[in-house]
Amino acid sequence: MELQVFILVLGLLVGTSSPDMGTNHGKSPDSHDHGPQSQGNHTQSKKPFPVLSLGYDHVKLPFEISLWVLLASLMKLGFHLIPRLSSIVPESCLLIVVGLLVGGLMKLVGEIPPVLESKIFFLYLLPPIILDAGYFLPIRQFTENLGTILMFAVVGTLWNAFFVGGLLYGVCQLEGHRLVTVDLLSCLLFGSIISAVDPVAVLAVFEEIHINELLHILVFGESLLNDAVTVVLYHLFEEYSSVGSITFMDVFLGIVCFLVVSLGGIVVGAIYGILAAFTSRFTSHTRVIEPLFVFVYSYMAYLSAEVFHLSGIMALIACGAVMRPYVEANISHKSHTTIKYFLKMWSSVSDTLIFIFLGVSTVAGPHEWNWIFVMATLIFCLVARVLGVVGLTFVINKFRIVKLTSKDQFIIAYGGLRGAIAFSLVYLLKTEHFPMRNMFLTAIITVIFFTVFVQGMTIRPLVDLLAVKKKQETKRSINEEIHTQFLDHLLTGIEDICGHYGHHHWKDKLNRFNKKYVKKCLIAGERSKEPQLIAFYHKMEMKQAIELVESGGGAKLPSALPSTVSMQNIQPKKPPQDRALPQLSKAREEEIRKILRTNLQRTRQRLRSYNRHTLVADPYEDGWNELLIKRKKMMELEKKISQMNNYLTVPAPPPDSPTIARARLASDPQAWGLKSVTESIPTIKVDLASPQSPVVDEFSKKGSQPKASKEEEGGLTMKVPSPTKQRKDKTADEDNDKEPQQRLMRCLSDPGPTAEEEDEDEAFLP
Amino acid sequence: MGASQSGPVHMFQDLAHKTGFSTEQIKNLHNRFMYLTQDEDTLRREHLENISNLALNPIRRQIIEAFFDKRNMGEKERGCLQEIGFEEFVTVLSFFRPPKPRTADEMKNIKKEKLRFLFNMHDTDNDGIITLDEYRHVVEELLSSYETIGAETAKAISDAAMLEVASVTVGQMGPGEFYEGITFEQFMQILKDVEIETKMNIHFWNLDTRTMQCGK
């Protein structure tokens, strides 16, 4: 049913969309309809006032763009409505097919389908995808594998370019008649365009197969970093193909140019990234425009790099990666979510549009099919890729700790997809300089189709067949975080002991530099001094708090981990035989009771104020405050319920003698389940000969109760109840709240001695 | 002359065979050892503390202790040594040697050994369990380079971490039970996703006597 409505809408869209989007986006006609008419009113006879008139021209361009975007998005929706289709065929294939259909429809209708113009592609469609990738780039894996990635990106692409270009030239020469006009430089240019792995296609396909992080970052990193190589080769060959020859000087300049292009791009990106981080430091009063800064600075980085013909992709990646840690420390949680969702949305739309336009352009573009050339291109591309990967891995494995297995190599080779960047680059070639341009175009489209369709569709079953490790979906736990940091320091220490300036040493130095100087400039306020572990812990708490609020709060949470472990199980037990029960005077008891009461209040206050302190960054987090209120209410409620239960099971003790009271308490293990803490109660005098010694147990337990409760409450203040901890903390919480109340009640009615709890320095016994 | 020359070489080869380093690496490590001890025979704690770069490391004490811990020497006994020779030095460093590709079982063993090393670093009182206090100590050390962090935060984090370990490994515990601490099996379980065997390695092939002199 939905499908049919959907197809109907689609048909309408196609019918109404007008073709000229690609070529006519210069000046939109700004003549209004009222103009000529009002003039006409003066000179001619008066026409009736137009109530409803049609003026399409002046909204034509935005209208068309919106229609295309709408079409793309509806397509995306449609695919997921069809069951099982999206699990077999990757989205990119489906979108290209849709593009083909739309283009075919347009041609049938008689209109010219728009072509994916390079300017639109490079300036509007590509940046969101790259920014999304760069901002969320997993820095840790990226830097750990940087050597490998660079090898693949630079050496691999060069190898591919020359292999394909050279062999194609050979084929052209051999073939004779039509192809002999293709000279070496044109072939090399074609080779360099087609050899670059495309980030858009790789992202589109790899995102769906959830492959393990190492392979993902290798292929994806390669696709990003080979942009510099492609840019340099492209310009080099384009410049000199008209001249017809290349000297060594040119090659040398080309190498220099490569360094300039890549490093320049990175520097430009880093500068803009730092600017963005610095700006975000001051946005605490205008939270609403925080995401805007992230987007605009990044886009400016891209455009600035393009001005100087530097690598815009690398600039964008560098900008996103540099600014992210600082910006995220400064901006509010809502801005963070906004940035994330906007980036994902834009990159998704871009991605969809690109593939649809690829399909449309295939139908539209001028084609020149030459069997030999196209087939040769395809075969050489595949062969070059496989040889390149195998050869490079052989060299790289000598330097890697984690070797790349042949399964990994296969996936890397197979994941070398070509995409729209290659298409746009060929499209940019002018036919006057390159008479073979149309043939190139056809060949490129064929290769793109092959890689996206055949390789894209089969990679998923192959991954399953080869049992390649998939991405682990586990959430990062606090233990792993602690140990990751511990390992970092440990390895740095061992490297220092060995006197070896390795990877960890420099990373450590960078971190220290970062902490000492950079963070102070770029992060606002107190957050600049926050260590990573604390930040991680806060994030985790925040996440759990939000989960709690979203799941409706309350005690009926389904816990992720069915565990009944709570804080009380962790606190170490005090060996009971160490302490004995001293004698206490009534005055002392009064004093103790008073201390108990005041300290309880103090703990409560500390509970609240501590929470406010940890949330100093965000007074805008409404959910948080509500959560606190809710939690308090729930605590009160549960306390009331438990107190009622308590009355049923443990009747209020009548004021009888201490020994009887103590005996009763001793027989009630439930109430005294809490264990004491290790901090010693300082001034208890041990009197082993005392007849009170049988009561030693409860005393120590009771005595350390308050301290335990304080410790646990102190410990609990930082913790926002997670779904698992929620229940347990509540129990512990309410236990704690219950205990002092109970103890108070019992104190009041039963003059049993209780110990000093809060202030260790306050003398308990003289 | 010949006899005394072949002595150390023979020892190096033995050590190389025992620990898995190459003879070249053993030689480089020996040079480093001599440099650290200033040509004495045994290494003491002060020698390691003299390394200036190590002074900035928040967990330097535990690292230094690890070198003098008998449990890492492959012996069954527990306790600390006061000074170690070159053989013990290399034995401890062999925990960080990158593993050559082996079968899955051997990799599991290597992982277990490395995790054992880590466990021993945490378990300072040698009782085979990491108690809450010891874990708290670890977190405090990690945070010790940040002066503004109070002890309460470290406590909260270590409490949360301990709770997580208990929840994951033990699961159901009544309110009266007490969780003693992290045993080695539980330690292995919670860290099984961290891929220790690939992370806890340093490249020993880069050791160069020239850089060793400059890099104190």
Quick one: pLDDT at residue A732?
Answer: 41
Q: Say how far apart CA A215 and CA A471 lie, in whole Å.
A: 10
Quick one: pLDDT at residue A708?
Answer: 39
Query: Which whole-number Å values give the CA distances from A188 to A159, A163, A193, A230, A251, in the listed order?
Result: 11, 9, 9, 12, 13
A546-569 per-position pLDDT tens digit: 777 877 755 444 444 445 556 666
Q: Over 60: is that where the pLDDT of A176 sits?
A: yes
| B130 DSSP β-pair partners | B182
Confidence at A340, pLDDT banded by 50, 70, 90:
very high
Pull the structure tokens for residue A4.
Answer: 């049919």
CATH code of the domain occupying A118-466: 1.20.1530.20
B132 CB neighbours in chain A (<8 A) are 570-572
Q: Do A483 and B191 touch (CB under 8 A)?
A: yes
Pull the structure tokens for residue B133.
Answer: 């206090």
Could you tell me which chain B residue has the CA closest to the CA of A570?
A: B179
Q: Over 50: is that where the pLDDT of A351 sits?
A: yes
- Which of A210-224, A706-720, A731-745 shows the lowest per-residue confidence on average (mean pLDDT)? A706-720
Q: Which of A474, A476, A483, A539 to mutate to test the interface with B (most CBs of B within 10 A)?
A: A483
Confidence at A44, pLDDT banded by 50, 70, 90:
low
Quick one: pLDDT at residue B62?
Answer: 81
Q: Where are the alpha helices (DSSP H) in B50-194?
A: 52-55, 60-67, 86-93, 104-122, 132-143, 151-169, 184-190
**How high is the mean pLDDT of chain B?**
74
**How high is the mean pLDDT of chain A?**
73
Q: Does B156 touch chain A (CB under 8 A)?
A: yes
Pull the structure tokens for residue A504.
Answer: 């960890």
Quick one: pLDDT at residue A611?
Answer: 46
| A470 DSSP β-pair partners | A211
CA B59 to chain A, closest CA, distance in angstroms equals 7
| B43 DSSP β-pair partners | B84
Q: What percent of chain A has pLDDT over 90?
A: 12
Q: Say how far apart CA A727 and CA A192 lie, in whole Å.
A: 61
Q: Say how far apart CA A154 and CA A232 lie, in whole Å.
A: 11
Quick one: pLDDT at residue B216?
Answer: 37
Out of A486, A500, A561, whose CB is closest to B142?
A486
- Which of A51-65, A432-446, B134-148 shows the lowest per-residue confidence on average (mean pLDDT)? B134-148
Q: Do B207 and A477 touch (CB under 8 A)?
A: no
Quick one: pLDDT at residue B28?
Answer: 81
B211 CB neighbours in chain A (<8 A) are 499-501
Q: Say how far apart CA B141 and CA B135 lie, in whole Å.
A: 10
Q: Do A403 and B203 touch (CB under 8 A)?
A: no
Quick one: pLDDT at residue A301?
Answer: 94
- Which of A382-391, A664-673, B14-23, B81-90 shows the lowest per-residue confidence on average (mean pLDDT)? A664-673
Out of B63, B149, B204, whose CB is closest to A534?
B149
Q: Say how far apart CA A481 and CA A85 lie, in whole Å.
A: 39
Nearest partner of B191 among B160, B169, B172, judged by Cα: B169
Pull the structure tokens for residue A253.
Answer: 């300049």
Q: Over 80: is that where the pLDDT of A396 sits?
A: yes
Q: Say how far apart CA A169 and CA A156 lie, in whole Å.
A: 20
Tell which B residues from 2 to 41 touch A, by Cβ distance under 8 Å: 29, 32, 35-36
Judging by beta carbons within 10 Å of its beta carbon (0-12, 13-18, 19+), is residue A185 exposed, middle or buried? buried
CB A334 within 8 A of CB A367: no
DSSP string, A462-512: HHHHTTPPBPP-PPPPHHHHHHHHHHHHHHHHHHHHHT---HHHHHHHHHH
A499 CB neighbours in chain B (<8 A) are 32, 35, 207, 211-212, 215-216
Tell which A residues from 623 to 662 touch B, by Cβ distance under 8 Å: none
Confidence at B177, pLDDT banded by 50, 70, 90:
low
A402 CB neighbours in chain B (<8 A) are 198
H or E stretch covering A446: helix A437-449
CA B39 to chain A, closest CA, distance in angstroms equals 16
Confidence at A372, pLDDT banded by 50, 70, 90:
confident
A727 CB neighbours in chain B (<8 A) are none
Q: Does B172 touch chain A (CB under 8 A)?
A: yes
Quick one: pLDDT at residue B27?
Answer: 82
Q: Which of A401, A469, A497 to mutate to test the interface with B (most CBs of B within 10 A)?
A: A497
Confidence at A374, pLDDT banded by 50, 70, 90:
confident
Mean pLDDT confidence for A479-494: 81
Q: Does A148 touch chain B (CB under 8 A)?
A: no
B163 CB neighbours in chain A (<8 A) are 565-567, 570, 725
Q: Do B139 and A533 touch (CB under 8 A)?
A: yes
Q: What percent of chain A has pLDDT over 70?
A: 66
Higher pLDDT, A479 or A19: A479
Quick one: pLDDT at residue A297?
Answer: 94
A526-533 own/partner pairs: CB under 8 Å, 24+ apart: A526/A616, A527/A329, A527/A330, A527/A617, A528/A329, A529/B146, A529/B148, A530/A329, A530/B146, A531/B142, A531/B143, A531/B145, A531/B146, A531/B149, A532/A485, A533/A481, A533/A482, A533/A485, A533/B139, A533/B142, A533/B143, A533/B157
Mean pLDDT confidence for A375-380: 89
Higher pLDDT, A215 or B143: A215
CA A492 to chain B, closest CA, distance in angstroms equals 8
- Which of A389-398, A497-506, A515-524, B69-78 shows the lowest per-residue confidence on average (mean pLDDT)? B69-78
Tell which A residues from 436 to 495 touch B, by Cβ distance under 8 Å: 472, 474, 477-480, 482-487, 489-495
Mean pLDDT confidence for A377-393: 92
Out of A401, A489, A563, whose CB is closest to B57?
A489
CB A226 within 8 A of CB A153: yes
Out of A486, A495, A724, whose CB is closest to B167?
A724
Mean pLDDT confidence for B39-43: 79
Mean pLDDT confidence for A99-126: 84
DSSP string, A179-222: GGG--HHHHHHHHHHHTSPPHHHHHHHHHHHTB-HHHHHHHHHH
Out of A472, A568, A714, whose CB is closest to B175?
A568
Mean pLDDT confidence for B120-129: 80
Question: Exposure string (b/e) for A450-461, b if CB count within 10 Å is 16 or more?
Answer: bbbbebbbebbe
Higher pLDDT, A557 or A79: A79
Q: Over 80: is that where the pLDDT of A153 sits?
A: yes
Quick one: pLDDT at residue A694?
Answer: 43
Confidence at B4, pLDDT banded by 50, 70, 90:
very low
Q: Over 50: is that where the pLDDT of A429 sits?
A: yes
CA B20 to chain A, closest CA, distance in angstroms equals 15
Q: Which of B33, B102, B159 to mutate to test the interface with A (most CBs of A within 10 A)?
A: B159
Confidence at A305, pLDDT banded by 50, 70, 90:
very high
Q: Say how far apart CA A356 and CA A109 lie, in whole Å.
A: 18
Quick one: pLDDT at residue A127?
Answer: 93
Quick one: pLDDT at residue A385?
Answer: 93
Quick one: pLDDT at residue A398?
Answer: 85
Please, what sign has the CA dihedral across residues A151, A154, A157, A163? negative
Q: What is the rounded (10 degree) CA torsion for A652, A657, A661, A662?
A: 160
Q: Does A510 touch chain B (CB under 8 A)?
A: no
CA A131 to chain B, closest CA, distance in angstroms equals 29
SS3 B172: coil
Quick one: pLDDT at residue B96?
Answer: 80
CA A508 to chain B, closest CA, distance in angstroms equals 9
Q: Do B170 and A563 touch (CB under 8 A)?
A: yes
Pull the structure tokens for residue A706.
Answer: 């308050």
Pull the structure tokens for residue A66.
Answer: 């919106």
Q: Say how far apart CA A501 and CA A496 lie, in whole Å.
A: 7
Confidence at A676, pLDDT banded by 50, 70, 90:
very low
Q: If you average pLDDT over each of A340-349, A490-499, A730-739, which comes out highest?
A: A340-349
Q: How many CB pairs under 8 A join A and B?
A: 205
Q: Say how far apart CA A413 and CA A385 lie, in whole Å.
A: 6
Pull the structure tokens for residue A328.
Answer: 């995220």
Question: CB under 8 Å to A334, separation ≥6 — which residues?
Answer: A287, A620
Higher pLDDT, A615 or B107: B107
CA A135 to chain B, closest CA, distance in angstroms equals 24
Q: Do B56 and A717 touch (CB under 8 A)?
A: no
DSSP string, A277-297: HHHHTTGGG-GGGHHHHHHHH
Confidence at A41, pLDDT banded by 50, 70, 90:
very low
Q: Does A166 touch chain B (CB under 8 A)?
A: no
- Which of A671-675, A752-756, B160-164 shows the lowest per-residue confidence on average (mean pLDDT)? A671-675
Quick one: pLDDT at residue B12?
Answer: 76
Mean pLDDT confidence for A734-739: 44
Q: Do A565 and B191 touch (CB under 8 A)?
A: no
Tell which B residues from 80 to 119 touch A, by Cβ distance under 8 Å: 93, 96, 98, 101, 118
Mean pLDDT confidence for A584-613: 62
